Amino acid sequence: MAMTMHCNVVSAEKKLFDGRIEFLVASGVMGELGILPGHAPLLSELKPGTIKLTKQGGAEELIYVSSGFLEVQSSTVTVLADTAERAGDLDEAAAKEALEAAKRAVDDESVDLSYEQAVAQLRTIQLLKGIRNK
């Protein structure tokens, strides 16, 4: 049986995950982070992207985060996201429209998603489709 650690993924609105994981991958502002059980303590700011969890038993779960922080302690990983959604709950059409709107008006404050957030949502959806097709 693989080693595991406890993981919490929460946003301001809801708790998205609370359980045991074998591995976590996240997009930190300084680059991609891979967290295994026994990882050294760490605090990192997150950029818009996908949190990939390999749950106890090997199943994978993808969660989109707009930004936030990742904290690693001795046996716990905590993701505190400003906004987060499970990949299956993302609206692909809305993300594509937001991406197009962001391309047309990068500096327009009325756009709900930034270009980077729209790209990250679409990448999360594409990753989910890849997992479902395995």
- What is the DSSP pairing of strand 76-81 with strand 5-11? parallel
Tens of pLDDT, residue by residue over 80-116, are 999 999 988 877 888 777 777 766 665 555 555 577 7
The span from the CA of 115 to the CA of 59, in Å, is 30
Tell whether 11 and 38 lie within a shared domain: yes
Contact 77, 24 (CB under 8 A): yes
Q: What is the CATH number of the domain that holds 63?
A: 2.60.15.10
Same domain? For 97 and 80 the reply is: no
Residues 79 and 21 in one domain: yes
The pLDDT score that the predictor gives to residue 129 is 76
Residues 11 and 60 occupy one common structural domain: yes
- State how far the alpha carbon of 50 is from the alpha carbons of 67, 108, 125, in Å: 10, 25, 9
Average pLDDT over the chain reads 87
- 80, 28: one domain: yes
Residue 29 sits in the same domain as residue 63: yes
Domains of the chain: total: 2
97 and 78 assigned to the same domain? no
Are 59 and 76 found together in one domain?
A: yes
Helix axes 115-132, 92-104, angle to 10 degrees: 150
For the segment 105-134, the average pLDDT, to the nearest whole number, is: 70
For residues 17 and 8, the answer to whether their CB atoms sit within 8 Å is: yes
Q: What is the mean pLDDT of residues 19-27?
A: 97
Instruction: Map tokens 């300084």 to a residue.
Output: 30
- pLDDT tens, position by position, 39-52: 999 999 999 999 99
Q: Assess whether 28 and 77 both reside in one domain.
A: yes
Q: Using CA atoms, how far apart are residues 69 and 28, in angstroms rounded to an integer?
A: 8
Please give the residue range of the domain that contains residue 68. Answer: 5-86
State whether 12 and 53 are in the same domain.
Answer: yes
